Amino acid sequence: MAFICVKEPLQAPVPEELSDKELLNSFRNPDTRSYAFNLLIRKYQKRVYWHTRRLVISHDDANDVTQDAFIKVWKHLEGFKEEAQLFTWIYRIATNEALSFLRKKKYKFLIPFVNVENELTRHLIDDNFFSGDEIQLKLQKAILRLPEKQRIVFNMKYFDELKYEEMSSVLGTSVGALKASYHHAVKKIEKYLKEN
């Protein structure tokens, strides 16, 4: 894989695209199913990738998780009831894939959870696809020290800029609990940055 890197904005502008409703209608038609899903991937791939990338850190792992997440979306999209927004549903699948990936990693190498965070930090330092300065590296280290749930909440709010209501739909947690979780996460990160 070439080491020519492309930095992505936090919210990548999406080219002219179909609405979720149109995509779903096309997907339900057997003749346009694959085409519609291809468009769906193009529409959401960046958001899913960057979200999982911040959770699993390494590009290769994020690539695997993103692909697995979209394959799961393909399998279950037929039964999607449109009670939630399509993108929060996809986010939910991607988040679960990333978390189960990290848990598998923990069991596979028989390492305690704390050391998984150390392992991710090591990846961060060695990663050819991490191009942040010293303060950004320190920020990522601080995020990796957070408990799992707080880390997800922080990333979704701070980097992905989701609304609390959307996060609530993705994580199945109340808005109040998410606000509290985010507040605690920010305080911990600020403390870490001051002390280091």
Partner 1 sequence: MGTNKNIEHNEDEQGLPVKQNSFSAPSDYFDTLPVEIMDKIHSSAKQKKAFSILNPSFAVTSLALLSGMIALLIFLKTNASSSEIMLSENDIEHVVQNPESYNIDEDAIIEKYLSSTIELTEDNPVISDDDIKNFLEESSDINNIINEY
**Lookup: tokens for 110:** 């028989």
Only one residue has tokens 């993108």, namely 87
Residue 10 found at the interface with partner 1 (CB under 8 A): yes
Q: What's the closest the beta carbon of residue 15 comes to partner 1, in angstroms?
A: 10
Residue 196 found at the interface with partner 1 (CB under 8 A): no
Q: In this chain, which stretch among 17-25, 97-105, 110-118, 137-145 interacts with partner 1, using CB under 8 A?
A: 137-145
**Closer to partner 1 by Cβ: residue 46 or 106:** 46
Residue 80 found at the interface with partner 1 (CB under 8 A): no
Q: Pick one of 18, 32, 59, 84: the residue that binds partner 1 (CB under 8 A).
A: 59
Kindly tell me the sign of the dihedral angle through the C-alpha atoms of 102, 107, 113, 117: negative
Q: Pick one of 18, 84, 99, 137: the residue that binds partner 1 (CB under 8 A).
A: 137
> What is the rounded CA–CA span in Å between residue 77 and residue 85?
12
**Lookup: tokens for 148:** 């799992």
The phi, psi pair for 191, rounded to 5°, reads -60, -45
**Closer to partner 1 by Cβ: residue 79 or 112:** 79
> What is the rounded CA–CA span in Å between residue 170 and residue 96?
10
Residue 27 found at the interface with partner 1 (CB under 8 A): no
**Closer to partner 1 by Cβ: residue 34 or 174:** 34
Kindly tell me the sign of the dihedral angle through the C-alpha atoms of 7, 10, 16, 17: positive
Residue 130 found at the interface with partner 1 (CB under 8 A): yes
Residue 193 found at the interface with partner 1 (CB under 8 A): yes
Residue 21 found at the interface with partner 1 (CB under 8 A): no
Q: Which of 147, 104, 140, 106 lies closest to 125 in space, CA to CA?
A: 140
Q: Write 74-82 long-range contacts (CB < 8 A, 24+).
A: 74/37, 77/24, 77/27, 77/37, 77/40, 78/27, 78/28, 80/24, 82/24
Q: Pick one of 26, 95, 140, 181: the residue that binds partner 1 (CB under 8 A).
A: 140
Question: Applying CB under 8 A, which residues contact partner 1?
Answer: 1-13, 34, 37-38, 41-42, 45-46, 49-50, 53-54, 59, 63, 66-67, 70-71, 74, 127, 129-133, 135-137, 139-140, 158-159, 161, 182-183, 186, 189-190, 193-194
